[in-house]
Amino acid sequence: MKRPKALVTGGAGFIGSNLVKLLIDKHWEVRVLDNFSTGNIRNLKDLDVEIIDGDIRKYKVVESAGSGIDVVFHMAACVGRQRSIDNPQLDSSVNLIGTINVLESMRVNKIKRIVYSSSAAIFGELIESSISEDHPQNADSPYGVSKLAAEKMILAYSKIYGFIGVCLRYFNIYGSNQRFDVYGNVIPIFAKNINDNECITIYGDGNQTRDFLNVKDVANANFLASTKAMETDVFNLGSGSTITINELADMMQKISGKKVSIKYTPRRPADVLHCKAKIDKIEKVLGFEPTVSIQDGLKEYLHWFDNYCITEK
């Protein structure tokens, strides 16, 4: 029996590399397209995977990468609100033009399924603290706009060319292979602070809540979307639970066995106070269920982060 063959754009990145590992464990053939601007070749070490060093903004590269592919997992992106504000041209060229190149490659190569890594940034300022797929989409950053535009492009192409497009709207994702980035998630920032015995900075009073989902669960959600979705659709992807930033900082310090000081500064104007994904739809339609607790996930991540710091500083 022929094994399914996947193309994972951004497959050397944090989330992409975790998906690649899962697909290989499921006995899929995997091809990775990554320009290594943020992805790391170390993330694919010892994995039986075909690697193409290329940029999704170059159509011919993307078209060639799509040859013989059954499913595209489109994860390559320019990520982050502030990064998009600092460089909106880069953000849109990668997130929108890159996505169009992927879709055109699918059309030419007759690929019938794409799973797209979208973002809760498409919602913009939140009207409700518990977010369903029907929450108003008022993206308020170039990043949110480009991710929403890419979603809409996928929905349009799926209607025109008859393929299945599944958009997964990520909330706060963390886990192994997530390296520190000043533009990045709060968990690797806190991990670096703790590892380096630096002060943790918390914006506001720290009682704001966030929905954190481990990357292993994200990889599984992508796999389910590629095998269970029978039609084009969009899904929120989070844990369906929340933790305060104060609780997060305290938990990470206790797990690490290190104590650092905490500095509170004024809340940033664009920061939301409370945010939780409603995951009823993805649970019902795809059979998704979070399996990694925040406690266990942070233990694993801090262990990975300590080893990464030792070997890559």
Alpha helix stretches (DSSP H) within 162-214:
186-195
Q: Is 143 annotated in the active site?
A: yes
241 vs 269, higher pLDDT: 241
Select which of 59, 116, 143, 170 is catalytic. Answer: 143
pTM of the entire predicted model:
0.95
> Which of 181, 182, 162, 185 has its CA nearest to residue 245?
185
- The whole-number pLDDT of residue 270 equals 66
What are the tens digits of pLDDT across the range 59-117? Answer: 999 999 999 999 999 999 999 888 898 999 999 999 999 999 999 999 999 999 999 99
Instruction: Tell me: pLDDT of 310 over 70.
Output: no
Q: Is 6 helix (H, G, I), strand (E, B) or coil?
A: strand
Query: What would the two tokens of residue 309 be?
Result: 């710091």
Q: Is 12 helix (H, G, I), strand (E, B) or coil?
A: coil
Q: Is 259 helix (H, G, I), strand (E, B) or coil?
A: coil
Planar angle of CA 181, 309, 32, nearest 5 degrees: 60
Identify each DSSP E strand in 141-300 by its residue range.
164-170, 172-174, 200-203, 209-210, 212-214, 233-237, 243-244, 262-265, 276-277
- The whole-number pLDDT of residue 128 equals 84
% residues pLDDT > 90 (the chain): 86
- The whole-number pLDDT of residue 178 equals 94
Contacts of 89 (CB under 8 A, 6+ apart): none
Tell me the mean pLDDT in the region 139-149: 94
Q: DSSP assignment of 115-148, as one string?
A: EEEEEGGGGBS-SSSEE-TTS--B--SHHHHHHH
Task: Answer whether 125's CB lies under 8 Å from 272's CB.
Answer: yes
Q: What is the DSSP letter of 44?
A: G
Q: Which pLDDT band, with edges at 50, 70 and 90, does 313 fall under?
A: very low
CA quadruple 128, 132, 135, 140: dihedral sign: positive
What are the structural domains of the chain?
Answer: 5-174+213-238+278-291 (3.40.50.720), 186-209+242-276+298-312 (3.90.25.10)
Pick from 24-33, 181-190, 225-234, 240-249: least confident: 181-190
CA quadruple 94, 100, 101, 102: dihedral sign: positive
Instruction: Tell me: pLDDT of 311 over 90.
Output: no
Phi, psi of 229 (to 5 degrees): -70, 125
Task: Answer whether 7's CB lies under 8 Å from 34's CB.
Answer: no
Tell me the mean pLDDT in the region 139-152: 95
Query: What would the two tokens of residue 104 be?
Result: 């055109």
What integer best gives the mean pLDDT of the chain? Answer: 94
- The whole-number pLDDT of residue 200 equals 96
> Which of 262, 266, 287 has its CA nearest to residue 189?
262
Instruction: Tell me: pLDDT of 268 over 90.
Output: no
Query: What would the two tokens of residue 166 be?
Result: 């599944």
Beta bridge partners of 201: 263
Q: DSSP assignment of 30-43, as one string?
A: EEEEE--SS--GGG
* 136-to-19, 122, 170, 283 alpha-carbon distances in Å: 30, 9, 16, 21
Query: What would the two tokens of residue 234 be?
Result: 């969009």
Query: What would the two tokens of residue 116 be?
Result: 């797209």
% residues pLDDT > 70 (the chain): 97
Beta bridge partners of 202: 264
**How far from chain centre, in Å, is Cα 206?**
24
Interstrand relation of 172-174 and 243-244 (parallel, antiparallel or unpaired): unpaired
Q: Is 216 helix (H, G, I), strand (E, B) or coil?
A: helix
